């Protein structure tokens, strides 16, 4: 009897070791896929259903090894729901770890420098991967939803490419872009040059939005910022077309007319001194940095060269500026 018991015990031990070795090898063998595969692990799904699904897809034969290992290690109820990309070479244990960490497939939305609040909302609304919860996209509703009721939303969302998992709601996405702008603005303000003519970071943000709209040439941003700051310091009107265009709003048809420059609005910097009441667009990092660290320049004027460079001619006096404007107009007529 004792001998029979030993035989049974020995055979059981051998079987256990054989199964353990097979399980270990199977769990460390890459899944049977030859290209990246999308896989959605549903909320409330179990490791048993996951293992069964892997087998039905032909990716992994030994379903019980997978679910058994997850239970044995106490990880069976810790997998995070979401959409995953499974790369070739991924083993079952690697997949388990990927789902434990919630490394889901990410989608992107790009907010572009120089664009407005309306463009931000259009991009968010157009994304099929965002969960749309906002009842409408008017500024007051949006700002209240992200926890900043009463604030003007223009310029308050940081232009960048944002990655997010499918199903992130629009409010969470917008709050993230808002917070990113606050972080950038705070860091830039703390490291700003001394004696700038801004009382608050928000005033610097307004100026940065103007610089963003005035030039796409990175090499000129600090110089243009210096021109506008010179004007602020001496009480000279900014006289910048982008603010007028913003004030015209949806009625802007691509042309600024003399009547537009004379019509007094809060955003007409030809009729009013100082900064407009809000930003006119989303300034990027370079424009914000340019305003916080402007060039020390003698110039008070600038006008586009009117050539393919997109650069400007800078002047210290009105006579030279008017001559540069005349040259720009001549080039414009020749096109």
Contact 223, 299 (CB under 8 A): yes
Q: How many domains does the chain have?
A: 3
Is there a single domain that holds both residue 202 and residue 329?
yes
Is residue 3 in some structural domain?
no
Is there a single domain that holds both residue 216 and residue 286?
yes
pLDDT for res 61:
75
pLDDT for res 309:
73
**Cα–Cα separations (whole angstroms), residue 204 to 160, 164, 282:** 19, 30, 12
Q: Count other Cβ atoms within 10 Å, centred on residue 89.
A: 9
Is residue 295 in some structural domain?
yes
pLDDT for res 97:
87
Q: Which of 157, 162, 152 lies closest to 175 in space, CA to CA?
A: 157
Is residue 7 in some structural domain?
no
Angle, CA 194 vertex, CA 190 and CA 195 arms, to 5°: 125
Q: What is the Cα–Cα distance from 94 to 104, expressed in whole angstroms?
A: 13
Is there a single domain that holds both residue 205 and residue 294?
yes
Contact 332, 306 (CB under 8 A): yes
Q: Which residue among 120, 152, 185 closes a domain?
A: 185
pTM to 2 decimal places = 0.83
Is residue 15 in some structural domain?
no
Q: Give the position of tokens 């434990």.
A: 100
Is there a single domain that holds both residue 217 and residue 301?
yes
Query: pLDDT means per 10 residues in the chain (335 residues)?
Result: 52 47 65 87 82 85 69 78 89 86 93 96 96 93 96 97 94 98 97 96 98 91 96 96 93 88 94 97 97 96 79 88 81 67
Q: Which of 236, 256, 258 lies closest to 247 in space, CA to CA?
A: 256
Q: What is the Cα–Cα distance from 153 to 277, expressed in whole angstroms?
A: 12
Is there a single domain that holds both residue 325 and residue 206?
yes
Q: Which residue among 154, 185, 216 closes a domain?
A: 185
pLDDT for res 304:
83
Q: Which of 227, 238, 240, 218 lies closest to 288 in space, CA to CA?
A: 218
Q: What is the Cα–Cα distance from 322 to 315, expressed in whole angstroms?
A: 9
Distance of CA 256 to the CA centre of its chain: 32
Is there a single domain that holds both residue 223 and residue 312?
yes
Is there a single domain that holds both residue 134 and residue 221?
no
Q: Which domain holds residue 176?
A: 106-185
Is residue 246 in some structural domain?
yes
For residue 72, give the CATH number of its domain: 3.30.1490.480
Contact 74, 131 (CB under 8 A): no
Is residue 226 in some structural domain?
yes
Q: What is the Cα–Cα distance from 196 to 189, expressed in whole angstroms?
A: 10
Is there a single domain that holds both residue 244 and residue 302?
yes
Is there a single domain that holds both residue 128 and residue 98?
no
Reduce the DSSP state of residue 329 to 3 states and report it: helix
The long-range contacts involving 68-76, CB below 8 angstroms and separated by at least 24 positions, are 68/23, 69/23, 69/27, 69/93, 69/96, 70/96, 71/47, 75/47, 75/100, 76/46, 76/47
Is there a single domain that holds both residue 225 and residue 302?
yes
Q: Which residue among 185, 220, 248 closes a domain?
A: 185
Is residue 118 in some structural domain?
yes
Is there a single domain that holds both residue 93 and residue 146?
no
What's the token pair of residue 138? 């008017």
What's the token pair of residue 189? 């303000």
Is there a single domain that holds both residue 198 and residue 327?
yes
Is residue 26 in some structural domain?
no
Q: What is the Cα–Cα distance from 133 to 141, expressed in whole angstroms?
A: 12
Q: Which of 184, 205, 175, 197 lies closest to 280 in space, CA to CA?
A: 205
């Amino acid at each position: 009897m004792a001998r029979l018991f030993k035989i049974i015990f020995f055979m059981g031990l051998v079987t256990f070791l054989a199964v353990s070795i097979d399980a270990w090898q199977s769990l460390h063998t890459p899944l049977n896929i030859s290209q990246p595969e999308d896989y959605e692990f549903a909320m409330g799904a179990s490791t048993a259903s996951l293992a069964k699904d892997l087998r039905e897809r032909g990716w992994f034969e030994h379903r019980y090894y997978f679910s058994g290992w997850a239970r044995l290690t106490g990880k069976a109820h810790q997998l995070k729901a979401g959409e995953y990309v499974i790369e070739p070479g991924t083993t079952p244990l690697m997949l388990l770890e990927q789902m434990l960490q919630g490394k889901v497939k990410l989608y992107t939305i790009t907010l572009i420098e120089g664009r407005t609040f309306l463009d931000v909302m259009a991009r968010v609304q157009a994304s099929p991967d965002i969960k749309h919860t906002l009842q409408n996209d008017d500024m007051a509703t949006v700002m209240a939803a992200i926890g900043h009721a009463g604030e003007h939303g223009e310029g308050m969302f940081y232009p960048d490419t944002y990655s997010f998992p499918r199903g992130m709601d629009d409010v969470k996405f917008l709050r993230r872009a808002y917070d990113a702008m606050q972080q950038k603005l705070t860091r830039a303000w703390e490291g700003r040059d001394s004696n700038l003519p801004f009382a608050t970071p928000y005033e610097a943000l307004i100026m940065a939005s103007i610089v963003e709209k005035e030039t796409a040439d990175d090499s000129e941003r600090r110089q243009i910022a210096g021109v506008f700051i010179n004007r602020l310091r001496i009480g000279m009107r900014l006289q910048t077309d982008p603010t007028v265009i913003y004030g015209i709003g949806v009625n802007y048809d691509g042309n600024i007319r003399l009547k537009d420059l004379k019509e007094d609005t809060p955003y007409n910097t030809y009729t009013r001194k100082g900064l407009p009441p809000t930003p006119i667009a989303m300034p990027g990092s370079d424009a914000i940095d340019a305003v916080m660290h402007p060039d020390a320049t003698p110039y008070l004027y600038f006008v586009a060269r009117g050539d393919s460079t997109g650069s400007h001619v800078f002047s210290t006096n009105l006579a030279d500026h008017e001559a540069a404007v005349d040259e720009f107009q001549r080039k414009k007529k020749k096109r």
